């Protein structure tokens, strides 16, 4: 657990957040144990901004991964970490690929301080076709 959180912490260093100053890092563990990291990437036009969670998912999916076990996320202003839960858009992306009862979201404030929830707890309903 601490290793995954540490990887999210390292990814947060790459956050591109000149508009909000809110830096987020994520580390996504795939079914085969590999880890993809992500950070938020903002844009002057605001709407194209990509959250750290989606960056990690899109990196992994674009390299052929389809099975996921858990994701660690953390964020806050440059000076420190605050409470953080994934946004609705990121939860919908997770719901595309993950079992709501099994996939875990680890929301961390440090290596040892975190809250763990299943995807189903954070997103009890989802859109599907
Ligand atoms: N953000 C994330 O990267 N993940 C979240 O879970 C919530 C919000 C980013 C988007 C934006 O760059 C900044 O945090 C402030 O909303």
Compute, in angstroms, the gap from residue 99 CA to the centroid of ligand 1. 23
The active-site residue out of 13, 29, 42, 53 is 53
From 87, 92, 107, mutation site for ligand 1 pocket: most ligand atoms within 8 A of C-beta: 87
What does 45-75 look like in DSSP terms, one character per residue?
TSTT-B-HHHHHHHHHHTTT---EEEEEEEE
Task: Give the mean pLDDT of 112-123.
Answer: 97
Q: Token digits for 115?
A: 């809250």
| pLDDT given for residue 51 in this prediction | 98
The answer to whether 95 and 118 are in contact (CB under 8 A) is no
Is the whole model's pTM more than 0.95, yes or no?
yes
- Ligand 1 neighbours, Cβ below 6 Å, are 17, 20, 22, 24, 40, 42, 49, 51-53, 84, 86-87, 90
81-93: per-residue pLDDT in tens? 999 999 999 999 9
| pLDDT given for residue 1 in this prediction | 76
């Amino acid at each position: 657990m601490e290793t995954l959180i540490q990887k999210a912490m390292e990814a947060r260093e790459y956050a591109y957040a000149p508009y909000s100053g809110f830096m987020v890092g994520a580390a996504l563990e795939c079914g085969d144990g590999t880890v993809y990291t992500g950070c938020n990437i903002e844009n002057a036009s605001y709407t194209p901004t990509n959250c750290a969670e989606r960056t990690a998912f899109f990196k992994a999916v674009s390299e052929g991964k389809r099975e996921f076990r858990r994701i660690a996320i953390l964020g806050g202003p440059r000076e420190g970490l605050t409470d953080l839960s994934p946004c609705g858009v990121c939860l919908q992306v997770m719901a595309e690929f993950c079992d709501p009862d099994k996939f875990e979201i680890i929301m961390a404030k440090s290596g040892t301080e975190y809250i763990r929830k299943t995807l189903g707890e954070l997103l009890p309903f989802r859109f599907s076709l």
